[in-house]
Amino acid sequence: MRDLVTSAVGLLGGILLSIAFWYVTMHRIVPKVEFSRHISKRYAVNGTVAYEFRIRNRSRTRGIVDLQVSARLKVNSIPMWRYSPGTEPLSVPIPIEVKKIGYMDRRDGFRVIRIDVNSLPESASIHHARALQMHRLVDESNNPLEYLFKTGTEALLTIDLLAYDEWTGARKFFRSSGYTIDDIVSGKFNEKMEVTPFAIPEGPDRFGGSDHKTVENRARGQEGDRTVVRMLLILVIWLVSTRRKT
């Protein structure tokens, strides 16, 4: 009887120990990833627009390996069918430039990942391209991502990430909170996870145009004002010299 009790206690203890080990390795010693709260928007010298988000390894002791990253835009109230009333939600994969990351260092391991909106018309299915009218992205080259957000209602961009812990090999799935159009900030990521807005924003201004165009137009206007002033000075000098001759 004593041997039976001892065996039962040992079996129960082994089961509990195994459950505790499984819980620690699969729920505690796992990757820890943080997503930036905003999406950075910047313009390149050639005028193309770039949208970026940032991820960070929050673990203080362990790195992360074999990260797989993907993005998806979910839009509601999309009119899908010509002869069928009503609307439907739509989920569209959004291409990103870096889909796999081999290693992220422990603590302060940052990665900035760019959303490749410009290649979306080529990578999207015909069904998605027609539903979101992606042919208009050419006309919305300054605000392509904002245009996609406005094609329906309650549009959300989510980032999915799958990563492994470098010690235990434990795998964990992460999903960011949904980014809205208001989370797009014209600025650059600072040393932390925040976007520092530009002194002169590069995004769309309140009048519907893009600010980098507005700044360019202002510069042209100032140059035009200088030209007018020069012409007026020349005219005044000519009138003065004419009066002296008479």
Q: How confident is the model at residue 59 (pLDDT cuts 50, 70, 90)?
A: confident
Can you tell me the mean pLDDT for 44-72? 89
Q: What is the 3-state secondary structure (H, E, C) of 136-175?
A: HHHCCCCCHHHHHHCCCEEEEEEEEEEEEECCCCCEEEEE
* pLDDT recorded at residue 37: 94
Q: Give pTM, 2 decimals.
A: 0.69
Mean pLDDT of 174-178: 93
Task: Pick the closest to residue 63 from 130, 119, 111 (CA basis).
Answer: 111
pLDDT of 74 reads 93
- At 80 the pLDDT is 67
Whether the per-residue pLDDT at 235 is higher than 70: the answer is: yes
With 50 as the cut, is the pLDDT of residue 213 above it? no
Q: Where are the domains of the chain?
A: 1-29, 31-199, 205-246
Residue range 101-119, pLDDT digits in tens: 999 888 667 899 999 988 8
- Rounded to whole angstroms, the Cα distance separating 56 from 138 reads 33
Q: What is the mean pLDDT of the chain?
A: 80
Query: Would you state the CATH architecture of domain 31-199?
Result: Sandwich (2.60)
Most distant CA pair in the chain, distance: 136
| Banded pLDDT at 124 (limits 50, 70, 90) | confident
User: What pLDDT digit, counting tens, does each position of 187-207 carry?
Assistant: 999 887 899 888 754 444 433
